Amino acid sequence: MKMTLSEIAQAIGAVIPEQQATKYQTTIVTSIAIDSRKAQTNSLFAPLKDQRDGHDFVENAKAAGAVATFWQTGHPNQPSDIIVIEVDDVLTAMQCLAKYYLMKVNPKVVAITGSNGKTTTKDMTAAILATQHNVTKTIANFNNEIGVPLTILAMETNTEVLVVEMGMDRPGQLTFLSNLVEPDVAVITMIGEAHIEFFGTRDKIADAKMEITSGLKEDGLLIINGDEPLLTTRAKKFEPRTFGLTQTNYLYPEKVALTQDHSEFKVNRWPDVTFTVPLLGEFNVMNALAALLVGRHYHVHPEKMAQALANFQPTENRTQWLKGDAGEMILSDVYNANPTATKEVLRSFVKVPATGRHIVVLGDMLELGEQAPKLHAELADEIMPQQVQEVYLYGNLMAALQARLVKVYPAAQLHYYPQDQQSALIADLKDNVHFGDTVLLKASNGMKLNQVLAALR
């Protein structure tokens, strides 16, 4: 990003004060910051209002190097020692600036959403495309109305492809984001139960995910999970490219081999090429298939795609294998959880060889609404004493799963902790986990199982 304040003001329709016209023309902005602590030399500060009012931190941003700030019209105590761009709404101004900058750089845009797998698919897709293009991808999981504009504004001017992740927790959100970026390629990884509290049914979640097509260019490509009827029925008019495990899909895997630290497979389109991803599970093979379809669309050679997948770096806290303090192996998946994702991880986890025990630590899956107790209890179908020797359940909602598992597990192998007893959970795990054990940690981010992970390491 490199723009004068004059260009920024014109892009968002802000008034340039006559007495400051020269400053606007000569002052150059090279980045944007919404956190005063992350402001840099020549940055523009965007004081958003959330739990705290960003306007209160303009002086901090200036001290860190900011040369200008947005300022909501009418907000009191406007500063006089930094250039101010008055706007009706700071977030809207940032979004408008992002739209302008996107049009100016004019990269191809790949937009990715889904109930599970969107961040991993984003990382895989970016790795594949980076073999022959200058690529910018979503920072961490900056995938909402704030994060997507920040990702756009962080692009280098030589970006050829923007790979942008899009999240949603309410109807209309993906419509806005899709219209903001106007994707050339849109990808929907899957439909699960994430945020079902706000939507009520998987059908309505599917409707919301299809909003990603709102801004899809007229000649754009839609890529979907072809094993999901909720998507295939809704996407017919787009003539999508499909991926999945069944042979009815355009791209499907053959000869899948899963190990503790990677998944290996071939695909029908390039039967002589072996693909490997450094992640556990069939669900990550699915994520790779989606990324491969994007790579194929942009004419990346299969051998280059295979090399990119083998070496890509997944975003932290997504099915990572780590070593614990006692010498145990820990499969950490503590960033997000919903029933579909948790069942998939459990199915893969129990197949991993271990010299000791398989131990599962599950925390509450959030945002499931009235269906939460039932959906937690149904995880019992994937947890059996023959495969999982110890079960630790953490959180108030996990009581429903505990009530199911108590019928098949001896008391000494089934442990339950309400949400206010994380310290007891940590203490018991540290006492009970030994060298050779294999441990799964899985929960929604709000359960803070990352603290349990840190204690075990």
Could you give phi then psi for residue 113, rounded to 5 degrees? -140, 175
Q: How many helices (H) and strands (E) does the chain have?
A: 17, 21
For residue 238, give both structure tokens. Answer: 């787009």
**236 labelled binding-site residue:** no
User: Residue 114, annotated ligand binder?
Assistant: yes
CB 224 within 8 A of CB 210: no
- Three-state SS at 331: strand
Q: Is 327 annotated as a binding residue?
A: no
SS3 label, residue 244: coil
| Annotated binding residue 159 | no
- How far is residue 292's CA from residue 14's CA, in Å, rounded to a whole number? 43
Instruction: Show the CA angle centred on residue 372, arms to residues 371 and 373, nearest 5°.
Output: 100
* 369 labelled binding-site residue: no
Question: Is 13 annotated as contributing to ligand binding?
Answer: no
Residue 116 annotated as part of some ligand binding site: yes
29-32 long-range contacts (CB < 8 A, ≥24 apart) are 29/1, 29/2, 29/3, 29/4, 29/5, 29/67, 29/68, 30/1, 30/2, 31/1, 31/153, 31/154, 32/1, 32/94, 32/97, 32/150, 32/153
Per the CB < 8 A criterion, the answer to whether 452 and 425 are in contact is yes
* Known binding residues for ATP: 114-120
* Known binding residues: 114-120
